[in-house]
Amino acid sequence: MNQLHNRKQNKFSKRRFIFLLVCIVTGFIIGYAYNLAKDHKKLDSSALDQEDNYRTELIEQQEKTKELMDELNELKEQISKYEKSFTENENDYKELAEEAEKLRLMLGELPAHGEGIKVTLKDGAYNPKSTNPNDYIVHESHIFLVINELKISGAEAISINGHRLKPNSYIHCNGPVITIDGKQYPAPFEIEAIGNSQTLISSLKIPGGVFDQLLNDSIVIAIQAMDDIKM
């Protein structure tokens, strides 16, 4: 009788041990699957954030391109109006011809030459205290600062590293190089502008203006007056 009771108790103990072992293994599998799913969710979230950033940047670039194309079409319409008015009013011919020539220069349809300035932008010196190299390299935002100020100050034509800009030119930064209308150019970036050199230099060096902003961003900038620039 005792032997039968002992056998039943042993079988029950073995079953409890097997059940306990199954529970432990199942718990481990569930925990591992949960951690794996959580890590995968983090990766998916990061990938989605990056995709959203790319999508936002693409939309912004498309909007800029549309604005530039609208500006280009508007300039072409102005040229057509001026040319049409030539035959209607000979007294204003000279003035309208000069205005049309300026517009063609802006569009990059005519060769340009004359006095101006050269602005050279270089990456700042390596800073071991900075963990992000983007803190001291030239970006398209720095180039746009210079270009926009030059346009406002009356620059007739502008080029970057010999590439003449047009109203619909596309500029994008990609690490240490910039892409202009599909062509890549490395630093340093030489921006040449045709116009009154003193006016252009003064506009860049206004206190708190472009020159000071670039220095604050650790960008090395040099400005030089030029007697004759050809584009």
- Residue 36 in tokens: 């794996």
Which of 131, 130, 78 shows the shortest CA–CA distance to 100?
Answer: 78
More confident residue, 177 or 176: 177
How far is the C-alpha of 203 from the C-alpha of 195, rounded, in Å?
A: 12
Q: Is residue 104 part of a domain?
A: no
CATH of the domain at 225: 3.30.70.1880
Q: Is residue 144 part of a domain?
A: yes
Domain residues for 146?
Answer: 113-231
The token pair that represents 15 in the structure block: 């079953």
Q: Tell me, yes or no, whether 154 lies in a domain.
A: yes
Coil, strand or helix at 172: strand
Q: Token digits for 196? A: 């009154």
More confident residue, 56 or 216: 216
Q: Which of 2-6, 15-19, 69-73 has the highest mean pLDDT?
A: 69-73
Q: Is residue 174 part of a domain?
A: yes
Most confident of 137-146, 171-180, 201-210: 201-210
Contact 113, 96 (CB under 8 A): no
In terms of DSSP H, where are the helices of the chain? 2-86, 93-107, 140-152, 197-204, 210-216
Position 158 pLDDT exceeds 90: yes
Q: Could you tell me the CA-to-CA distances from 189 to 185, 205, 222 in Å, in that order?
A: 8, 18, 11
Report the pLDDT value the prediction gives residue 9, as an integer from 0 to 100. 46
H or E, element range at 121: strand 113-122
Q: Are 128 and 122 in contact (CB under 8 A)?
A: no
**Band (94; pLDDT cuts 50, 70, 90):** confident
On whether residue 47 sits in a domain, the answer given is: no
CA distance 76 to 168: 12
Check residues 152 and 15 and name the one with the higher pLDDT.
Answer: 152
- Domain-located, residue 155: yes
Domain count, the chain: 1
148 lies in some domain: yes
Q: 8 pLDDT exceeds 50?
A: no
pLDDT at 41 over 60: no
The answer to whether residue 4 is domain-embedded is: no
Output the average pLDDT for the chain. Answer: 78
Name the residue type at position 89.
N
pTM of the model: 0.58
Comparing CA positions, the residue from 70, 128, 100, 108 lying closest to residue 194 is 108
